[in-house]
Amino acid sequence: MKPKEQIVDLADQYIRAKGYNAFSFYDIAKEVGIKTSSIHYHFPSKTDLGVAVIEKELAFITAMIQKNADCSPLEKLNIFFSIYHKIKEANQVCLVGSLATDFMTLDESIQNALKKFSLTILNWVTGFLEEGKRENVFNFSCQPRIKALLIIGNMLSIVQLSRLIDDADFNSVKKAIQKDLLNQ
Amino acid sequence: MKPKEQIVDLADQYIRAKGYNAFSFYDIAKEVGIKTSSIHYHFPSKTDLGVAVIEKELAFITAMIQKNADCSPLEKLNIFFSIYHKIKEANQVCLVGSLATDFMTLDESIQNALKKFSLTILNWVTGFLEEGKRENVFNFSCQPRIKALLIIGNMLSIVQLSRLIDDADFNSVKKAIQKDLLNQ
DNA sequence: GTCTATATTCCGATAGAC
DNA sequence: GTCTATCGGAATATAGAC
């Protein structure tokens, strides 16, 4: 992997493991095997690096949405779950949750990138919930957008809470969401 | 208010506004009108201050639980909502959500205090959900503990997401949770 | 593109006077 | 209990050699 990609990848890991304000250029430099000044060559400021992380994740999620556009709503739900499963396995939190708590300390360019990223996820989930309801696979009574916020919020929060409480609760929450959606 | 209390109060505000790793003793000293060394007199280390913040919130929530022990489950639910309503009004996030994302950077004493705090809330919510189900006021099919995690997670996440998306979603989410619980 | 060297700022923490 | 003064360290960032 090219150094530039590796830097973004490690920054991503650190943001979701320790938070944006808790990792340093030195943390990354150490792991890549270069000096901090070399990171500044690729990303003049920490803000530039932060924006690059979000844009990388946005590209990833956009490609995944596109690739699985023809899947069933239930399959899409499980793809959605699998994202958080990986995060939880690594004892991390999701990018949105991590950066939302640091939001007031972030430069506007990161704030805007994050808003765009979260909107992409929200629209995706809203879409396959609507789809599932139309096909009588999913059942829920509130607006699809609100149901999407509830479900996204459940996953966003359970990866955070998994650090504080019983590890097994993650799967129980996942199953409860699924059962609730499929119940007629 | 005594300086010591004021320091804890401001630290609490900062943690929920900007995050634990983004506020400094100087931020607080400035607002109190003292020097940073005076804060160290009351709280030798930042960790001591962090623990004091959680213990203050724990005392507050414990008193509130006790005070409203005789309320109906529906009243308790609305008290629960009102906590997050205040947080959202201030454009802050809850203490658990904020410190959970910074969890890996916190000293063990703060981690343990936070675990105790989150468990207190979880047990409280689980309790009045069970109560409400027994009285046929609330309706849900999963375990009360899991339902509590889902609802707490919805509120924890919506105060975070309120910074990124439509401000009005907070009330929609609150109403959706309520309707879901009350539906027969 | 990476290095050395350094500038600058900030932060947590401590010693000792008052 | 608050102050001044200061230490030691860490962080972002830049200049210039290679």
User: Is residue B176 within 8 Å of A150, Cβ to Cβ?
Assistant: yes
Tokens representing A152 are 């996204």
Q: What is the mean pLDDT of chain B?
A: 98
Q: What is the pLDDT of residue B144?
A: 98
Q: What is the pLDDT of residue A131?
A: 98
**Average pLDDT of B78-88?**
98
Tokens representing A75 are 């399959």
Q: What is the pLDDT of residue A6?
A: 98
With 0.85 as the threshold, say if the pTM is over it.
Answer: yes
Contact A101 B101 (CB under 8 A): yes
CATH topology of domain A53-182: Tetracycline Repressor; domain 2 (1.10.357)
A55 to chain B nearest CA, in Å?
Answer: 16
Report the alpha-carbon distance of residue A84 to residue B111 in Å, rounded: 23
CA of B29: nucleotide with nearest C1': D2
**Average pLDDT of B125-138?**
98
Sign of CA dihedral A126, A127, A133, A136: negative
Percent of chain B past pLDDT 70, that is, above it, reads 99
Q: What is the pLDDT of residue B165?
A: 96
Asked if the C-beta of A100 comes within 8 angstroms of chain B's C-beta atoms, the answer is yes
Contact B97 A157 (CB under 8 A): yes
Stretches in chain A below the pLDDT threshold 50? none
Asked if the C-beta of A116 comes within 8 angstroms of chain B's C-beta atoms, the answer is no
Q: What is the pLDDT of residue B81?
A: 98
Q: What is the pLDDT of residue A56?
A: 98
Q: What is the pLDDT of residue B39?
A: 98
Q: What is the pLDDT of residue B77?
A: 98
Q: How far is the CA of B7 from the C1' of C14 (A)?
A: 20
Among partner residues A96, A158, A161, which is closest to B118 by beta-carbon distance? A161
Among partner residues A152, A154, A165, which is closest to B118 by beta-carbon distance? A165
- State the burial class of residue A63 (Cβ atoms within 10 Å of its Cβ: 0-12, 13-18, 19+): exposed
State the CATH architecture for B51-182: Orthogonal Bundle (1.10)
pLDDT above 80: residue B184:
no
Q: ∠ at Cα A160 (A155, A163), nearest 5°?
A: 130
Q: Where are the domains of chain A?
A: 53-182
Contact A157 B22 (CB under 8 A): no
Q: Is B157 left (phi over 0), alpha (psi -120 to 50) or beta?
A: alpha
Q: How far is the CA of A20 from the C1' of D9 (A)?
A: 20
Q: What is the pLDDT of residue B80?
A: 98
pLDDT tens digits, residue range B92-123?
A: 999 999 999 999 999 999 999 999 999 999 99
Q: What is the pLDDT of residue B171?
A: 98
Q: What is the pLDDT of residue A140?
A: 98
Q: What is the mean pLDDT of chain A?
A: 98
Asked if the C-beta of B126 comes within 8 angstroms of chain A's C-beta atoms, the answer is no
Chain A residue with the nearest C-alpha to that of B93 = A101
pLDDT above 80: residue B2:
yes
Tokens representing B5 are 């209390």
Q: How far is the CA of B37 from the C1' of C14 (A)?
A: 9
A46 to chain B nearest CA, in Å?
Answer: 15
Residues in A 13-52 whose C-beta is less than 7 A from nucleic strand C are: 33-38, 41-42
